[in-house]
Structure 1
Amino acid sequence: MSHPTFIERICERFAQGLLHHPRLAIGLLVLSLVGALACMPGLRFDFAPQSIYVGNDRLVADSDAFKQTFGHDEFIVLLLLKAELEPDVLEAPALQWQSDIAAELQQLPDVARVECLATLEAPRAGLRGLRLERMLPETIDDDAALRARGQFETMPLLKGGLLSANSRLAALPIQLNLPSAEIDGMRRAVTDIRDVLARHPAPAGYQTLLSGLPVLRVEIVNDLRLDQWTLIPMAAITYLCVLWFLFRCVSGSILPLIAVGIALSWTFASFAIFGESLNLVSNVLPVLLLIIGVSSSVQIVTCYAEEDHLHPGHRLEAAARAIAHMTPACLLAALTTAIGFASVATARSLILKRFGWQAALGVGFQYFCTLVTLGALFRYFAPPRHSGLHQDRPGPVTRAAAVVGLAVAEHPWRAVLASLLVIAGALYGATRVRINTYNALETFREDHPAVITMKLVEQDLSGLIPLEVSLKAAQPGKFLEPEMFHQVVAATRSAREVPGVLAGQSYADVFREVLSHWPGRRVSETDRELVPEGEAGRRRLQRTRGFAVQVPEVLHYYEYLNEDESQARLRLRIAELGSARTLQLIADLERRLAEQFPPESGIQVTLTGEGYVAAQALTTLIRDLFFSLVTASVVIFSLIAMEFRSIRAGLIAALPNLTPLAITLGYMGFRGYDMNVGNVIVFTVCLGLADDNTIHFLYRFREELRRGHAVPSAIQRAFLGTGKAIVATSLLLLAGLGVLRLSNFVPTQRFAELTCVTILGNLLGVLLLLPAWLRIAWREPQPQSPIGETSETASGLTAGAGSDLGPTVTGASPVPTDASG
């Protein structure tokens, strides 16, 4: 036998220290757990969708500058009044309720302004010129409502804005007064609005609905938090039940969950201490770390059972051997996985950078805590019963591992061919996958109230998603020139014609509304008649400006022009199209704007707004994360090659590690799923799980080679040790992920579904493709000590003439053959 290496000696001392000083280790674990639990209340949740934009510097800078000039449209809550029976929303009771509820909402601390049909002021001609006049009195009767109905018909800006075309839906935009887009402020404001509506219900025959970006974001955050606090514990309970079914003892069921729980508490406490938060990307970390921790724990517990079977009556020695044997494998798995995730920090998006470091830290805690906790507690609990082929009734997992291991060892090319056929089919399906993400449609089910309300707003009003166009001139007052005025009118009309654009407004619409009511003017006049070319048109625009700046809040003047009239806003609303179609819409719009404002016009055109930023940033985020994970895989393969001192080992590990990624992509294609933010996170599980299982299998395979076994025999013995644990872990994880399918949150459901596919793909890669490549590409080692047989025969394995395949640490004798059946 070879002499122990430096690493092996360190691992033996580490194991002996844990077993001989358990009280010290347990005391430190308890103290650290108490400290972590004390820090965890400071953990922040930042599930606001806009958090994913941070790091896209140009997009965010343009958006912030635009909002500073023209205001925050994402701070608008839309209160809808819907007529359910025959009367419409222009009846006196409906208008009176709108007036009353607007006054109540205006008193809320987070509300800056509320608009509604009942409080509208319109320009009216008088003896002294133009004045603003409220269209309805404070107390609204049937006569006043009837007069207002006729006036509303002459105000085209209302249609699609505050009033649907059929007058059965009215909108009350509520402008929030929030210092930032923090979700806590939005939740407080939305809750206050709901409380007011509960105290002041709509009249009989009418229904109230809430929509708008703040409402959607609060719904998303609430569902995510509900999942974190309910479904994750339910998954842990399911893991406990399945672990107990598999091992039937405390050491195999409860101890792994204790270890994983302590590590999770360390991770979240670290986030709280350093000001990190769980966000839309890192919300998957609890499940990911749970999977990695449970997988490693099952490997260690299985090794403990094998060592105890080899050395009956010497529990401490068996525990020490198991910890010493598993420490280097766990160390390499932790190192490669952590470095792999840390490589994600090279992405441009700040949220991905944080996710990379958060995952690396959590993985390190999981592996270290698993070894320390299990090593300290093993001495107090009996190991699980070892299930080997020598027993009269070996378990189904053992029998399956024996049969598959034998088949792969004897027919490696068949295994490779079968695996490659599956991968080829998956890659064909993967060609159907496209990068496409939605604001709400991928978050909620079709029958969710938020989706139903959003579609109602898109159908009858002007939609929710803003797409903004900034027009900037070099000199002040440029947009008060008649020629530029008509260019903006033409650009607005052209933008409205783009498929997917629901509404478009500019300062020209506001000016037209004022000019058409000026003494001597008519509503029926065209834009060219209202604003003629030359000095006459210039005077009319200046006069209109003079009136508008006296009542800027009523006419929303500064929402369309800045103070020196050198920058104008083209305000668009688009449908929820998904990022792919939105990018096509943006390209069409940019082409039209380039025709309207060529370089010689002196107008700088910039697109921004929630619709634009989301489509660009989310597409960049998905590509960043996907290719960062591919980079992480390359880093992991390189580290595996360095550890095993063989480029061949790294190359052999590459294809099995990428197999679950390819199969999951193919499944998405055949199911018609897009590559969105929620789905791409699944590939982090591909990375962590495949890397972990590959390393454990390679370590066991190398250990069997060092004992003098030939490659086929080493593969079979690795199957019955590590392979059996991998199968058991996969069954365990599939059961736990089934719980997540109960979520009402579509991304959580999809995550569970795709992760199950990933686990099955990992089984194909690690238990078929990896051993088959080892059988084909690994050179036979020179025998180090005589072994009774070179390889087990088919009849021996299937009939029970197998071996007790427990791992041994340095210095242990070869594993004896048990042919008793």
Structure 2
Amino acid sequence: FLPVLAVGISAVIVIGTMAMVGETMNVLNNIVPPLLIIIGVSDSIHLIGRYREELEHTDSKIEAARNTVRAMAVACFLTSVTTSVGMASLLVGETEMLHHFGVISSIGVMIAYVVTIGFLPSAMTYFAPPVAARNRPDRPERFDPIVWLTRHILERPWPFIGGAVALLGLFVWGALQVTVDSALLDEFEEDDVAYISTRLMEEKLDGVRPLEIMLESDEPNRLLAPEVLAAVDDVQTFLRAQPGVLGTISPTDYLHLSWARLAGDPEAAAEPFRSAEQVEAMRMLFSRTERDPLGPFVTDDGRCARVHVALSDVGAAASLELIEELQRMLNARFEPLGVRVALAGEGYTGSVGLNAVVYDLLGSLSTAVLIIFGMLVVLFRSWRLGLLSIPPNIIPLVGTLAWMWLRGMNLNAATVIVFSISLGLAVDGSIHMLARYREEIGHGRVRNDALLRVARGTGRAIVVSGVTLMLGFGVMRFSSFVPVQRFGELIGVTVGLCLLSTLIVQPALLRVWAPETPPTRFRRKTTPMSSPASDSAGTEREEE
């Protein structure tokens, strides 16, 4: 229960701080508490695993806790910082809600680190330690599947590297099939009240996605000239033939219908206006009514007008295609007439803004990747280890994109957030593995021996923490809100792929390209203050 208590304290501190600064809970901030709990438990698992390992070499719980902090503080700090950097990348987006979520979650992760590393090791010393393996000599050595797998990888690394390259190529192909798109109704199940109401509004009314065509001229009454009204008619005819357009309304609709009523001939509604006097006469009639129907569409001086277009919820991608084609037609028809054109309305800003948000977040994600792996190079003091940590963490991210294609999910602002969070989580396993590898070769062990000890000491914690993350985020699949469902599913897929990549690809890469002998900067003289687990392990060697 100690890990749960540690992450509970972290969550209470973050939520209390949010209340103190006036931050409210919303659809994004609601994710922060479970996010901190799941991530905090992962660090706790690694601390407990190392504490148990240290207890196998000392009877002092305090000494074991001290050695655990000495060995794990930097690795856990790195995992927390990388996760925090991934979340902080959301600050590049233009949405205020994303900014707040990025700040809260990134700071919350570091608070969880401080609480976990400060509370858990000391708290464990107050409880009876688990029975160490060395106190049970009659128990045969257990079969460790992680060590068995690592041994086979070290014997024949190239088939695993080749398989990883082939799998990455397949993932890249699938990832390229993913489209950038977002529709309002993608956020709801088909039996949801909001989904049903929106469809009803589209069938019976004008829908919920307006697109406004704004016309402007410096010449008075220019927008009521027959040639301008004829251009508006052409645009409306084009729009009404497009899929996804529910209807259009403009000043010409009222003028044509009223003229047909006055002429007593319904077919007169399709005739173009012959002169400005004809239009002005109709306008004078409208001005005598209690409510001028042209008022919402044309200004009194005739310099500004608008055309209302009702769009169905066909998605941002289809809307952008329509908007681009419409923009070309508007420029071709109105520029020769000296009329300026602009587009507005949710149908326009929502579709264009989606692309801006998605590409902003992707750009910030790329920056976060460079920052994270740059930090690994600096803190591990090795370009080679930093570069070798990249492939095992790129594969899960690209694989998640391929999974989105298989599941028919689109890339939008909601799903891009997943990658900002997944980036920090993906490198956690590699960080713990590389940190332990650095520790082992620092004590003078050869490469294969060090990797087998990494598998025995850290491999189990990596598996347990990975499974914990998958189960924790998997709970979100039971949410009634579709974005939260996808959030949990995609992060679970990323963590699962990262677990396999860390256990298989990372050892194979280290086996082939890690130094044959421990680099000088990794060597460390053994002193009485060194970890008992590390000292006693120095005489052990794996049997081939």
TM-score normalised by L of structure 2? 0.89
Higher helix share: 2
Give the direction of change, closer, same or farther, for the CA distance of 1:323–1:641 in structure 2 (3 Å limit): same
The Cα shift of 1:523 comes to: 5.8
1:400 aligns with 2:400: no
- Name the residue aligned to 1:375: 121
- For residue 681 of structure 1, give the secondary structure of its aligned residue in structure 2: helix
Task: Identify if the C-alpha distance between structure 1 residues 406 and 728 changes in structure 2 by more than 3 Å, giving closer, same or farther.
Answer: same
Q: Give the AA of the match of 1:535.
A: E
Deviation at 1:734, TM superposition (A): 2.5
- Residues 665-744 of structure 1 aligned to structure 2 (within 5 Å): 665-744=401-480
Per-residue CA shift, 1:277-323, capped at 9, x if unaligned?
Answer: 555555544444333211111101111111122213x1122112212
CA contact (8 A) 1:256 1:294 kept: yes
**Matching of residues 3-152 of structure 1 within 5 Å:** none
SS in 1 for 2:357: helix
* 1:410-432 Cα shifts (integer Å, max 9, x gaps): 22222212222222221221121
1:628 aligns with 2:402: no
Which structure has more RCO (C-alpha within 8 Å, separation ≥ 6)?
Answer: 2
Give the equivalent residue in structure 2 for 1:94.
none
1:540 equivalent in alignment to 2:540: no
- The equivalent residue for 1:142 is none
Q: Do the aligned residues in 2 keep the contact of 1:292 with 1:688 (CA within 8 Å)?
A: no
Q: 1:328 to 1:809 in 2, by over 3 A?
A: farther
Mapped partners of 1:689, 1:758: distance in 2: 9
Matches of residues 335-374 of structure 1 in structure 2 within 5 Å?
Answer: 335-374=81-120
Match of 2:207 among 463, 466, 477: 463
1:751 aligns with 2:491: no
CA contact 1:471–1:603 (8 Å) conserved in 2: yes
Task: Pick the aligned partner of 2:352 from 605, 616, 623.
Answer: 616
Aligned to 2:159: 414
Kindly indicate whether residue 254 of structure 2 is the aligned counterpart of residue 510 of structure 1. yes
Distance 1:336 1:752, change over 3 A: closer
Q: Describe the shift of the 1:655–1:735 C-alpha distance in structure 2 as closer, same or farther (beyond 3 A).
A: same
CA gap of 1:578–1:475, structure 2 versus 1, over 3 A, is same
Cα distance in 2 between the residues matched to 1:416 and 1:306: 31
Distance change >3 Å, CA 392–CA 602, structure 1 → 2: farther
- Partner residue, 1:574: 311
Q: Gapped runs of 5+ residues in structure 1?
A: 1-253, 788-806
Give the Cα–Cα distance (whole angstroms) in 2 for the partners of residues 393 and 681 of structure 1: 47
Alignment of 1:79-478 (within 5 A): 254-277=1-24, 283-312=30-59, 314-384=60-130, 392=139, 399-440=144-185, 442-478=186-222
Distance change >3 Å, CA 664–CA 453, structure 1 → 2? same
- Look up the equivalent residue of 2:251 and give its one-letter code: Y
Secondary structure in structure 2 of the residue aligned to 1:468: strand
Is the CA contact (8 Å cut-off) linking 2:92 and 2:361 kept in structure 1?
no
* Paired amino acid for 1:307: E
Q: Which residue of 2 aligns with 1:39?
A: none
1:499 match: secondary structure: coil
- List structure 1 segments (4+ residues) > 6 angstroms apart after TM superposition: 387-391, 782-787
Contact 1:707 1:814 in 2 (8 A): no
Letter aligned with residue 540 of structure 1: M
Structure index of larger Rg? 1
Q: State how far apart, in whole Å, the 2-side matches of 1:476 and 1:269 are.
A: 60
Q: Contact 1:419–1:764 (CA<8 Å) still a contact in 2?
A: no
Code of the residue aligned with 1:570 in structure 2: it is: V
Q: 1:522 to 1:809 in 2, by over 3 A?
A: farther
Q: Tell me how far apart the structure 2 counterparts of residues 384 and 515 of structure 1 sit (CA, whole Å).
A: 92
Q: Distance in 2 between matches of 1:501 and 1:384?
A: 68
Q: Quote the residue 2:535 is aligned against.
A: 813
What's the offset of the Cα at 1:564?
3.6
Q: In the TM superposition, what is the alpha-carbon distance from 1:362 to its structure 2 partner?
A: 1.8
Alpha-carbon separation, structure 2, partners of 1:317 and 1:786? 20
- Where does the alignment leave 5 or more consecutive residues of structure 2 unmatched? none
Alignment check: 8 A CA contact 2:86 2:420 kept: no
SS at match of 2:306: strand
Report the AA paired with residue 537 of structure 1: V
Match of 2:375 in 1: 639
Give 1:635 shift. 0.9
Specify the code of the residue in structure 2 equivalent to 1:693: G
Report the Cα offset of residue 786 of structure 1. Answer: 12
Partners in 2 of 1:339 and 1:714 — Cα distance? 30
CA drift at 1:361: 1.0
2:257 and 2:131 map into 1 onto residues whose CA distance is 84
SS of corresponding position for 1:570: strand
